[in-house]
Structure 1
């Protein structure tokens, strides 16, 4: 058996691409790495319910979801970090007053305003290659629903809030107002042609969740490898002993990585597994 590594893999842009899904080479690499005794974890900005069977059928030990707010190992949720209810209400009121679109994630649902809902529906129509009724059924099945379905109980379970806009200055105002209280990541969603702010509880990130897993399993940081492409991967790329950027990664992610592999659609994950002697 190879020396056991703890491997943390982002989904979108790293393991998965909208045009091809999960490359077969990536699936095979993950299967072989698991057989070699490595512990593999998904580490994604997606809410937990959007990590569906497409990903769960692969031999992942656990899932870090909502950019570190939720940790699941062996199908058991170990940690959930939520935003204070009063703070969440105040932030949402401020976002709505600025007429900016947003979504809020909880452990069970992703509540979207109509603009975000329609954009995700359009994206999924392309990604799933099926008709609108099937996409709407998929969205309901994975907890993607309209904001008007959110209850007072849901408001107590918000793990993160994401705002979407093509007006960068408006997002900068929100970021300036809340950056001292929350962990905020600014990104671009190219498939939606929108700028976003991903807002989590202060000090909660993918790296924080990885540290918790290492402590739980008495594992060593020197045995960690992270794979990512986006700005919400920066902390984990920096934290892990080896940080791998995909060829399609944001330039800043590449600049802080130890190793740059090929694009996700060009066998990037599998090639990195081979070159790092994981398989």
Structure 2
């Protein structure tokens, strides 16, 4: 009897009025992912990961600190940093212990190191920027034409904490200087600066930043071909996983 009552109740239940899926049947009509191709991507990516891991774990020469920091930053921006969390932390902390880093008079080296440390959750004082300020408390004039230094300082300023006046001032000054320089910069550097002025790294979605940054990075003279290829393969592999998940959800 109880089973019969439940069955009758089930017949009169109102069905939910769900709206149609936003995807329609787009993912249902797509051909399933080529498993052999995806497997080949994964195998090649596995080889490249070890090469990048070696790059990250090799201590930098004293005159190559900025180059090593830039490699770490590119790995993160290209969306493959999650493969090398420990290696990245170890490399940054290793650089932090180097006297050559603390004694550097290069704004890009100091600003990039500062940003990477704070991004990873490590505290570093904003006092590191006082060496770039004159007796009147203004940033030195020679920085105004250094677009790389301005770019890195601008990005670093978005990791300020309340009360860090020097970084608040740096943000305003670097923004104005970058705006005045951007039209004279070559492609793809100009596109990179414009994107950062529109939305700094700290306000971007990592996976979307990977999609946007790969075409810019592959045009840069300083690109690392191994890192670039791994970023593309990793994007393809992750995208194939997402497609299959959405296909399953749509069904």
Give the alignment's TM-score, normalised by structure 1: 0.27
Q: Which one has a larger percent helix, Structure 1 or Structure 2?
A: 2
TM-score of the superposed pair, with normalisation by structure 2: 0.29
Question: Greater CA radius of gyration, 1 or 2?
Answer: 2
